[in-house]
Amino acid sequence: MRRQRAIASENVRLRLIRKIDDFSAKNLVKCAVYASSIIFFFTLILIPPIAGILENIGKLKTIYYDPSLLTSANLAIINSFTMAFTVATLDLIAALPLAWFIVRSKMKIVNFIDVLVDIPFLIPTAALGYSSLLFWSSQDGISRIFGMETLIPPGFALVLLLHFAFSYPVIVRVMVGELLTYREVYEVAARTLGAQPFTAVRTITLPLLKPGIIVSFLLAFARSLSETGATVIAAGNFENGPVFIFKNIDKVGEGALVYVSSVLILASTIIFFLIKLLAPSLKFPIKRAFPSIERKLSSYEVVKFRDGATILVFLIIVVAPSLFIALPVLSALLDGTVNEMVAGSELWNVFWRSMLISYAVGSISTLMNVVFGLPAAVLIARRKLGRATSIFKALVSIPIIVPSIALGVSLKFFWGKYGFIPEFWVIVFSHTTITYTYFVESMSAAIEGIPVEMEDVAGTLGAKPFTIFRRITLPLTKYAVFSGAILVFTRALGETGAAKAVVRTKEFQTLPVLLVDWIINKRATSSQSALGIGLYIISAFLVLLALRFIIRERRR
Amino acid sequence: MPSIRLVNVTKKFGGITAIKKLSLTINDCEYVCVLGPSGSGKTTLLRLIAGIIKPDEGEIYINNKLVNDVPPQERNVAYVPQYYALFPHLTVIDNVAFGPLSRGLRREEAYKVGMHMLEMTRLAWRAESLPYELSGGMQQRLALARGLACGAKILLLDEPLGALDARLRVELRFRLREIAKENGLTVIHVTHDQEEAIVVADRLIVLRGGEIQQEGPPSQVYNEPKNIFVAHFVGGANFFEGFIAETDPHGSWVQLRNGFILRVNETRWKVGEKIVIMIREEKTEIIKGIKRREDINLLPGTIKEASFLGDFVIYGILLDNGDNVNSKMPTLLGIGKFKIGERVYVRLRTEYLRAYPYPPQGLYQELKVM
């Protein structure tokens, strides 16, 4: 009886799969799936920010009536790019040796360093900004060691240190990946031909790693250019583009916002593509060798000094400011703020509501990106659009390049026209726009990693498109799907700039926007802010942990 | 009956034509080897038949049914790509059962078919292993089992032995043919190894630049190559450039470089015509002693090198007219027979000489395989 029931249920399952299989084999269905993902990209991701700015371009002229505002807007824009370029360059110089250390060193400490690298990734940037502010600028931070009130006051230097810290792991992670896939045999061959280790790295390894170096530089550049929440906290009187928009969004006319946003969007897109185009032709100095100098640079002492200095910079500028928040959170736990939170008050009610909104926005935008981003990733990875694939791929990368608050301003203009769309959904749409690239790019890279022959062979063995996807593509990219989803979710959860731009009423403030408001407008005591940030970090950490646990289970 | 027919098939990739107006028929249960250098269109031909790519022009018929627009899963053709594309996340048995399951078989039946195929390929004992845990030869057999399990009667093998070591390659090529014949399969086996192709094929197809140069039984293609390229690509050969000096009703006299004369048994040439003469290395004889007046096709030269190949020895001879020739002979007969620097004659028997028109782009260009 049980066996018959099992056979019956197997039959039902087979019939269902066969039906979906037959359905998926129809050209019309395949076209519909891909078309829907393209339509989604254009209507929700690409057109809204462009249309939002273009429709309001006429308001640009109003800024010319206010020369002082124009001057400060221009300065803010220049500051944005100067900061991004400086940070990306410094990060590259400091992070590359650490990536090298992680991959090549046999020391036991490597595993510990490897874990520490991800800390700035795990802490939402607004929280990181507050932590850095307390570490570098407050009396209780590093200033105490030097007997000073403020070692580094809010301003350019603090923003530089902050951006350095949160962009640093991007470069380490990309370069660790590159070094792991790099075939060391080239370097070994160079050394057997008489090259000093330093010469071999300079003339063979680094030129071969150039694509990875360019990508990591661009990612750090984009991350610095786009960050808003933490920058606002650490900025003091310093203003870059996102800070200018953040501070003036409710004060100045739309002309100034359109001006700064459009220039940021246009300039960042041009600079990004210029770097991408020109950087590959940049030559490493490989034509000459300097045996005596390079022998010294390869010596045990120099290498040890380099590793020591790298780890020191990493611990002092990246790890310590990121973890410093733990101290005020601990003191908030002990000084009675927790009791006040548990008892409940208007302040904490708003906090919990914002947290709920943040998680709801993060979840829905992640789901939308997974559903519509997956076919787009397949289109890119399998070059299904022929020559147009490269154009589509370039368009997909735009949201990651453009400062998110500038994108938020244009989205605010665009969705503002459609008053009937509830504010919550406008926030969801804007977060979907900002995070779309992360999912599609990570997924398309994962799919590209599967030899196309696997899918071809599965087809010749009788599998229809749905079965090929279900049994071959998905199992082999499952890890990437989850990782991409986590990336999107954490990015959406930590987004301040775009959220600030599109939120119209206080009821829909997301958590990072609320916390930045608490800190810079002093709406909460420092103890309350610390506790709020602590809860934010812990909740994000728990969700990440849960997701990683699910992934690990599934991988088994 | 599983037969394949291609009619005027053309496939282009951008500006490159991979297959040019190719027509071909493969009969039921035939084991065909497609031989050609890299870039000759071998893999493209397989991918066209498997339905992974579509032809730009022409028709493809499988079992007399036009399949140009039929997707791969409906063609009932098993394609085994180079390096096999085994699904790394599925066990050996899951890999083999993938085809039957995809074709709608119940799980139990699918695994039964899978196990049968694994037994046939002697892999049943590794059913629960993952592909990366298998040796190269086992992976090759698994790819074959997976292809056979889906019930296809047409098997497309793309360099199936290319990733294996020399010893295993020799062993497995006979096993491949054996399995194909036992199961009544029609096989297209793509390779660039001429020895492998000659040994296993019922019919050989030589491809170059997307065009068929010659097709036929291996012995015919080897002994009667239609052009210089086939002669050069299938087996070792010596080539001589020359002009027709004189013709008579029984043959022609050919003038080689520096006044050397050769006799060929062909009468189709005109006096003054430039030609290329070919003779297989193993049919190039070396003799010691003095030339008699009545001897023809005896060319003087000096032994320059001797290469020991195990079963065979190849002597390299520099002829007095400046041409180089190789002579291949069984080790038992040839080893130590001639010394480096020894003066010898090379005998080229007229019955083994074949003449071809001189290629317009030159002999060197014609012999290029890349």
The residue type of B94 is D
Q: What crossing angle do the helices spanning A254-278 and A241-248 adopt, rounded to 10°?
A: 160
The answer to whether position A309 is within a domain reads yes
- Interface contact flag, B52 A456, Cβ < 8 Å: yes
Provide the chain A residues 460-519 that lie in CB contact (below 8 A) with chain B: 460-464, 467, 471-472, 475-476
In chain B, which residue's Cα lies nearest the Cα of A468? B102
The answer to whether position A210 is within a domain reads yes
Query: Looking at the domain that runs over B4-230, which CATH code has it been given?
Result: 3.40.50.300
pLDDT tens-place string over residues A437-458: 989 988 888 888 888 888 889 9
- Interface contact flag, A462 B103, Cβ < 8 Å: yes
- Give A158 to chain B, closest Cα distance, Å: 48
- Interface contact flag, A460 B88, Cβ < 8 Å: no
CATH of the domain at A192: 1.10.3720.10
B106 contacts on A by Cβ (under 8 Å): 7, 10-11, 14
Query: In this structure, are strands B77-80 and B154-158 parallel, antiparallel, or unpaired?
Result: parallel
Distance CA A77, CA A18 (A): 57
Cα dist from A260 to A131, A403, A500, B2, whole Å? 28, 11, 16, 69
Distance CA A275, CA A216 (A): 12
What phi and psi, each to the nearest 5 degrees, are found at residue B59?
-125, 145
> Which has the higher per-residue pLDDT, A20 or B1?
A20
Distance CA A394, CA A417 (A): 28
Close Cβ partners of A468 (under 8 Å, ≥ 6 residues apart): A455, A458, A459
In chain A, which residue's Cα lies nearest the Cα of B85? A454
Average pLDDT over residues B107-126: 89
B81 contacts on A by Cβ (under 8 Å): 453, 456-457
* Residue listed under structure tokens 């470089």: B257
A369 touches B at CB < 8 Å: no
- Interface contact flag, B71 A476, Cβ < 8 Å: no
Per-residue pLDDT of chain A (556 residues; tens, 9 = 90+): 777 887 788 788 778 888 888 888 888 888 999 999 999 999 999 999 888 888 888 887 888 888 888 898 999 999 999 999 999 999 999 999 999 999 888 888 888 888 888 888 778 888 899 999 999 998 888 888 777 778 889 999 999 999 999 999 989 988 988 888 887 778 777 777 777 888 888 888 888 888 889 888 988 999 899 888 899 999 988 999 999 988 888 776 778 888 888 899 899 989 888 888 888 887 777 667 787 888 888 888 999 999 999 999 999 999 999 988 888 888 888 888 888 888 878 889 999 999 999 999 999 999 999 999 999 999 999 888 888 888 898 899 888 888 888 888 888 888 888 878 888 999 999 999 999 998 998 888 888 888 888 888 998 888 888 889 888 988 888 878 888 888 888 889 888 888 888 887 888 899 999 998 898 888 888 888 989 998 988 888 888 787 767 666 554 4
- Interface contact flag, A471 B78, Cβ < 8 Å: no
Give the full edge-to-edge strand order of the sheet including B298-308: B285-287, B343-347, B298-308, B312-319, B324-330
* Residue listed under structure tokens 């370097």: A187
Model pLDDT, residue B236: 87
- Interface contact flag, A460 B98, Cβ < 8 Å: no
- Using CB atoms, pick whichever of A18, A25, A457 lies closest to residue B81: A457
pLDDT tens-place string over residues A5-49: 877 887 887 788 888 888 888 888 889 999 999 999 999 999 998
- Interface contact flag, B50 A456, Cβ < 8 Å: yes
Query: Which range of residues forms the domain containing residue A268?
Result: 64-324
> Which of the four pLDDT bands, split at 50, 70 and 90, describes residue B7?
very high
Question: Which of B4, B73, B109, B158 to substitute to test the interface with A, most A CBs within 10 Å?
Answer: B73
* Residue listed under structure tokens 């735009």: A398
Residue B257 · residue B323 · CB < 8 Å: yes
Question: Which of A461, A467, A472 to substitute to test the interface with B, most B CBs within 10 Å?
Answer: A461
> In which element (H, E) is residue A395 found?
helix A388-401
Model pLDDT, residue A75: 93
- Using CB atoms, pick whichever of A11, A458, A460 lies closest to residue B77: A460
Cα dist from A413 to A56, A294, A492, B283, whole Å? 8, 57, 20, 86
- Using CB atoms, pick whichever of B72, B106, B146 lies closest to residue A456: B72
pLDDT tens-place string over residues B136-193: 889 988 998 988 888 888 999 998 888 778 887 888 888 888 888 888 899 999 998 8
- Give A432 to chain B, closest Cα distance, Å: 32
A12 touches B at CB < 8 Å: no
- Give B87 to chain A, closest Cα distance, Å: 7
- Interface contact flag, B71 A454, Cβ < 8 Å: no
A457 touches B at CB < 8 Å: yes
User: What are the helix (H) ranges across B150-281?
Assistant: 166-182, 194-200, 218-223, 228-233
- For every residue of A263-276, DSSP letters joined together read HHHHHHHHHHHHHH
- Interface contact flag, B102 A25, Cβ < 8 Å: no
pLDDT above 60 for B281: yes
- The count of structural domains within chain A is 1
pLDDT above 50 for B360: yes
Q: What is the 3-state secondary structure (H, E, C) of A124-182?
A: CHHHHHHHHHHHHHCCCCHHHCCCCCCCCCCCHHHHHHHHHHHHHHHHHHHHHHHHHHC
- Interface contact flag, A460 B72, Cβ < 8 Å: yes
- Interface contact flag, B99 A471, Cβ < 8 Å: no
Question: Which of B53, B67, B102 to substitute to test the interface with A, most A CBs within 10 Å?
Answer: B102
Residue A319 · residue A531 · CB < 8 Å: no
What phi and psi, each to the nearest 5 degrees, are found at residue B19?
-130, 130
- Give A14 to chain B, closest Cα distance, Å: 7
Cα dist from A107 to A102, A110, A118, A163, A304, whole Å? 9, 6, 19, 29, 12
pLDDT above 90 for B126: yes
Model pLDDT, residue B133: 92
Distance CA A392, CA A38 (A): 9
- Give A183 to chain B, closest Cα distance, Å: 20
Token duo for residue A481: 């799907």
A471 contacts on B by Cβ (under 8 Å): 87, 90, 98, 102
- Using CB atoms, pick whichever of B80, B88, B102 lies closest to residue A462: B102
The answer to whether position A158 is within a domain reads yes
- Interface contact flag, B98 A475, Cβ < 8 Å: no
A10 contacts on B by Cβ (under 8 Å): 106-107
Question: Per CATH, which fold does B236-367 belong to?
Answer: OB fold (Dihydrolipoamide Acetyltransferase, E2P) (2.40.50)
Model pLDDT, residue B212: 95
Model pLDDT, residue B204: 95
Average pLDDT, chain B: 89
Domain boundaries of chain B, sorted by first residue = 4-230, 236-367
Dihedral sign computed on CA atoms, order B205, B206, B210, B213 = negative
A555 contacts on B by Cβ (under 8 Å): none
Model pLDDT, residue A555: 47
- Give B313 to chain A, closest Cα distance, Å: 36
B73 contacts on A by Cβ (under 8 Å): 25, 459-464
The answer to whether position A487 is within a domain reads no
The answer to whether position A4 is within a domain reads no
Q: What crossing angle do the helices spanning A254-278 and A67-104 adopt, rounded to 10°?
A: 40
pLDDT above 70 for B370: no
In chain B, which residue's Cα lies nearest the Cα of A16? B104
> Which of the four pLDDT bands, split at 50, 70 and 90, describes residue B226?
very high
Model pLDDT, residue A556: 43
- Interface contact flag, B52 A460, Cβ < 8 Å: yes
| Percent of the residues in chain B that have a pLDDT greater than 70, as a whole number | 98
- Using CB atoms, pick whichever of B78, B104, B106 lies closest to residue A460: B78
Distance CA A321, CA A303 (A): 27
A4 contacts on B by Cβ (under 8 Å): none
